[in-house]
Amino acid sequence: MRIEDLVAQIKKKKSFLCVGLDTDLEKIPSHLLDEEDPIFAFNKAIIDATHNYCVAYKPNIAFYEAYGVKGWEALEKTIAYLNKNYPEQFTIADAKRGDIGNTSTRYAKAFFEELNFDSITIAPYMGKDSVEPFLEFEDKYAILLALTSNQGAFDFQSKKMEGSELYKHVIRVSKSYDNSDRLMYVVGATKAEYIGEIRKVIPESFLLVPGVGAQGGNLQEVCAHGLTKNVGLLVNSSRGIIYASKRTDFAETAAKKASEIQQLMAVELARLSE
Amino acid sequence: MRIEDLVAQIKKKKSFLCVGLDTDLEKIPSHLLDEEDPIFAFNKAIIDATHNYCVAYKPNIAFYEAYGVKGWEALEKTIAYLNKNYPEQFTIADAKRGDIGNTSTRYAKAFFEELNFDSITIAPYMGKDSVEPFLEFEDKYAILLALTSNQGAFDFQSKKMEGSELYKHVIRVSKSYDNSDRLMYVVGATKAEYIGEIRKVIPESFLLVPGVGAQGGNLQEVCAHGLTKNVGLLVNSSRGIIYASKRTDFAETAAKKASEIQQLMAVELARLSE
């Protein structure tokens, strides 16, 4: 998907919501466990119910790998269902991969070609030749971990390297990579006050912002620091939407929660055109 | 597997060789492509031929994910085959994972419980709460990326943070994690001259050393800097062994290559007891 098409979707739906599909058999409604593929059944119901209120879906791959071959099958069905029925949705494989060059190429093929995701999250620790293989695919995006939403972000990411915090150094260096226009960045909503600083380095790039809701991040604060003329934000919510109800009304409750966030986002977007 | 059992195997076999199972359908002998599961058929033949000369096997997960469900099935069969037939082998899922706490737990369950690997490689960028979930499993090990074998290692890993290089800082900080005795570290053979420095920080820890052979690392140099009383090294070779021949003699050629490395290792180990 081209960035322009993502921005057009955001403006049309007045939403920059990404729904995180962190599907966990211990948390989904118990009546779904009788289905042949409970993970896919849950995802399909959530997607059908929420697609009008969001512009992106982000399965975290850990939740699928935890179930082995069955998990991988559910992931394949989920992305195929999205690409067939809702091709306007931006899809993110939250995989946090990264390896030496020829191996990163393998991961890129797995997620961009085999599964046909639009983007994948990438860990930057191994540097340029671990990231660039993901940037060779047209209309595909690598979303680099910059400043993550967890407490451990303060172990290394916020510590200084060559005069600036590691996460800023990562962002700055990554701008010199080949095809760096295909980079987006993960910045946790729990670190909203840092987004202003980040915007000085990358005024235009899209940020994927997890941590609104369950992890305590605040949408208005993220928008105050992060919104750009072309929006530049995808804000993710997982648990707050998909596990809002554990009963048979789970899908409509998820839709209600997604709709509530969408309405808050519409207010923020309206300020942009003022 | 307990570390003591790994060390005992190393001393018995006079080898600290790890064989990397980076199995690629474009590189395996073409006659195997007629098999029902060519990836597993290749791995099984390589394992049966080389197991006397090595103490560990390391599938790089990217190569399996690249083939989707079929790749994951081949991975499951490979680890099950190893655990059933060669339980004395130390198994490493070269996955380079790491995510926020509850998600890292998912990855840990995938690789330690679902697949039953002894260890997994982990990227340290997200800090303490992304690593500790992997350290909660008895007789299982997290192998933290410290200084990798690729050129991109110089982008961030070798740059200074709080007075020492990031990779040293990562090692030092990780020693304060809960159950840090279950940590091992990745240090590329191409960076052998750094191993002496690393030994000052972690005199005893096991290092997983990729990059001998195809990537240009030198075994003697690695040993000179890295060998400890309890050996403390697993040296990996992938392409140099498994793709030494593309013909029907691929397995015996792989055995020959593994045996040559084992003999060099026996010489290094003999020096330890001098």
Question: Which residue range forms the structural domain that includes residue B68?
Answer: 3-272
A96 noted as active-site residue: yes
Interface check for B201 against chain A (CB to CB < 8 A): the answer is no
Q: Which residue of B has its CA nearest to A110?
A: B66
Q: Which regions of chain B are under pLDDT 50?
A: none
Q: Which residues in chain A are contacts of B172 at CB distance < 8 A? A: none
State yes or no: pLDDT of A176 exceeds 70. yes
Q: Is residue A269 part of a domain?
A: no
pLDDT tens track for B189-246: 888 889 999 999 999 999 999 988 756 668 999 999 999 999 999 999 999 999 999 9
pLDDT of residue A214: 59
Q: Is residue A73 part of a domain?
A: yes
State yes or no: pLDDT of A210 exceeds 70. yes
Structure confidence at residue A191 as a pLDDT band (50, 70, 90):
confident
Distance (Å, rounded) from C-alpha B90 to C-alpha A236? 39
Q: Which burial class, exposed, middle or buried, applies to A48 when counting CB atoms under 10 A from its CB (0-12, 13-18, 19+)?
A: middle
Using CB atoms, which residue from B127, B150, B173 is nearest to A126? B150
Distance (Å, rounded) from C-alpha B223 to C-alpha B233? 8
Structure confidence at residue A134 as a pLDDT band (50, 70, 90):
very high
Q: Is residue A268 part of a domain?
A: no
Q: Which residues in chain B are contacts of A71 at CB distance < 8 A? A: 110
Contact B150 A161 (CB under 8 A): no
User: Of how many residues is chain A composed?
Assistant: 274
Using CB atoms, which residue from B106, B115, B124 is nearest to A62? B106
Q: Is residue A256 part of a domain?
A: no
Q: Is residue A258 part of a domain?
A: no
Interface check for A238 against chain B (CB to CB < 8 A): the answer is no
State yes or no: pLDDT of A119 exceeds 80. yes
Q: Is residue A254 part of a domain?
A: no
pLDDT of residue B190: 83
Question: Phi/psi at B234 (nearest 5 deg)?
Answer: -125, 120
Residues of B recognised as catalytic: 96
Q: Is residue A203 part of a domain?
A: yes
The residue type of A79 is I
State yes or no: pLDDT of A217 exceeds 80. no
Interface check for B37 against chain A (CB to CB < 8 A): the answer is no
Q: How far is B12 from chain A (nearest CA, A)?
A: 33
List b or e across A135-147, with b for residues whose CB sees 16 or more CB atoms inside 10 angstroms.
Answer: bebeebbbbbbbb
| Number of domains making up chain B | 1
Chain centre to alpha carbon of residue B211: 11
- Token digits for A258? 């997604």
Contact B96 A101 (CB under 8 A): no
Q: Is residue A255 part of a domain?
A: no
Q: Mean pLDDT of all residues in chain A?
A: 95
Using CB atoms, which residue from B60, B66, B96 is nearest to A114? B66
Q: Specify whether the CB–CB gap between A181 and A135 falls below 8 A.
A: no
Using CB atoms, which residue from A96, A99, A127 is nearest to B98? A96
Contact A62 B155 (CB under 8 A): no
Q: Which residue of A has its CA nearest to B215?
A: A100
Q: Which of 69-98 (B) contact A at CB < 8 A?
A: 69, 71-73, 76, 96-98
Contact B160 A156 (CB under 8 A): no
Which CATH number goes with the domain that contains A43? 3.20.20.70
Task: Return the DSSP state at A258.
Answer: H
- Token digits for B239? 């392409």
Residue A58 belongs to what H/E stretch?
A: strand A56-59
pLDDT of residue A221: 92
